[in-house]
Structure 1
Amino acid sequence: MKEDVSRILKMMEEGKIDSDKAAELISAIKEREKEEPSTITLNKVSNLEKMLKIKVRSIKGDNVDIKLPIKFVKAILSATGRIPGISMNGTEGMDIHMDMIADAIENGIDGKIVDIKSANGDIVEIAIE
Structure 2
Amino acid sequence: MNEEVMKVLKMVEEGKIDSQKAAELISLFNSKEQEKINETKEKMFKIIVKSSKGDNVNINVPVKFISTLGTAIKKLPKVEGVEGLEEIDMQAILKAVSEGLEGKIVDIKSENGDIVEVVVE
TM-score, scaled to structure 2: 0.57
Q: Percent of aligned pairs with the same residue?
A: 47
The answer (yes or no) to whether the contact 1:88–1:97 under 8 Å persists in 2 is: no
Residues 118 and 50 (structure 1 numbering): CA distance in 2 closer, same or farther, change over 3 Å? same
Separation in 2, partners of 1:52, 1:58: 20
Separation in 2, partners of 1:107, 1:119: 33
Counterpart of 2:77 in structure 1 is 87
Q: Using the TM superposition, give the Cα deviation of residue 102 of structure 1 relative to its aligned residue in structure 2, in angstroms.
A: 1.2
Q: Using the TM superposition, give the Cα deviation of residue 92 of structure 1 relative to its aligned residue in structure 2, in angstroms.
A: 2.3
Alignment of 1:1-129 (within 5 A): 49-76=42-69, 78-82=70-74, 86-87=76-77, 91-94=82-85, 95-129=87-121
Separation in 1, partners of 2:44, 2:57: 16
The 4+ residue runs of structure 1 with deviation greater than 3 A are 88-91
Which ranges in structure 2 are unaligned for 5 or more consecutive residues?
A: 1-37
Amino acid corresponding to residue 114 of structure 2 in structure 1 = D
Which ranges in structure 1 are unaligned for 5 or more consecutive residues?
A: 1-44
TM-score, scaled to structure 1: 0.54
Q: How many residues were matched structurally? A: 81
The answer (yes or no) to whether the contact 1:74–1:102 under 8 Å persists in 2 is: yes
